[in-house]
Amino acid sequence: MTWLYGILGLIFMVIIHEFGHFIVAKILGVGVERFSIGFGPVLFKVKPKKTEYALSLVLLGGYVKLKGESEEENVEDESDAFYAQPLWKRFLIVLAGPMFNIFSAIIFMMIAYHIGVNSLAPKVGKVLPNSEAQRIGLQKGDTIVAINNIKINTWREMSKIIKSHPGKPVLLKINRNGRILILKAVPQGKTITDLLGYKRYVGLLGILPSGDEIVVKYGLAKSVGLGFEKTVYITKVTIIGIVRLIEHAIPSSSIGGPIMIVDIAGKAAEAGIGAFLIFIAIISINLGLLNLLPIPVLDGGHLMFYTVEAIKGKPVSRRTQENFQKIGIAILLALMIFAFFNDFRRYGVTKYVENKIEHVR
């Protein structure tokens, strides 16, 4: 069942991406000949009107076949042909796929926070020796309910405040078997390396979580705000992450492919619909941003050609586009092979992605 959830999640993200191209093309009056989920041999198809809807064998992607995608096609009526449209229409149609991925993440996040997300409880599972927690008398089973009069709901909220106070005193409000205690602590400063490979000086108490989970829910207005906030945050982190990968600050072994996506999506589904939606949102953002990379064949490559066309006042020659597309295909194939290699090497070892999910939750 976990693999089924993962496959369905992957298909759903593809549908969202391709639906972006599809609906904007329809709105702008461009003909759509086929809307396909998957590549390769067609398993099922239906054509109620002008557009054929198909399900293909290889469910690792999808595509929208627009009428007159290139001038080489023989089109009787050019009024709704893609190549005959003004530049701004072509630009918006191509941009729509990645943008739908990113905008849909806001909705996924919003729903997740509204229906409830499983998060680690701010409950002490272990006190490390020679730590600040041991010095002030924190004990296993203590629950941190507030820091500096700020209410604490999750372990992440607690950790965020503690890390932001290295060497600075904080007041901890503790629930110990029903008794409320106030303890003063000075988090010990330590330099750590975060998920993006940056060195950070943070405060630490020296405690580990109990592993207990709680369901955190928010009202509609708060959920909408969190949907926007977390989507912006993940978008920013993803862009920085891509740059850090190029700089080799993040190990290339962290790159994953479809197998890892399916595996983690299934595990997220087991953790609850909230966790599953957050994971889908993260992958949807990644899919949107990766498609915006200026690599021919990807949406970003087409947008790059359109930008050049806008500057020069005339389209990039067909031969130049084809040459760049060959390079783009080679790059994509290399990335796919590398991602699959990482998947097979790490299969079942997914702590990196799980940490990213928990970081958002």
Catalytic residue numbers, as ranges: 18
- Name residues whose C-beta falls within 8 Å of residue 94's C-beta, 6 or more positions apart in sequence: 21, 299, 302, 303, 306
Q: How far apart are CA 128 and CA 222, in angstroms?
A: 36
- N- to C-terminal Cα distance for the chain? 23
Vertex 96: Cα angle to 95 and 100 (nearest 5):
125
- How many CB atoms are located within 10 Å of the residue 156 CB? 18
Which residues share a beta bridge with 163?
none
- 100 near 20, Cβ under 8 Å? yes
Q: How far apart are CA 151 and CA 182, in angstroms?
A: 13
- 31 near 50, Cβ under 8 Å? yes
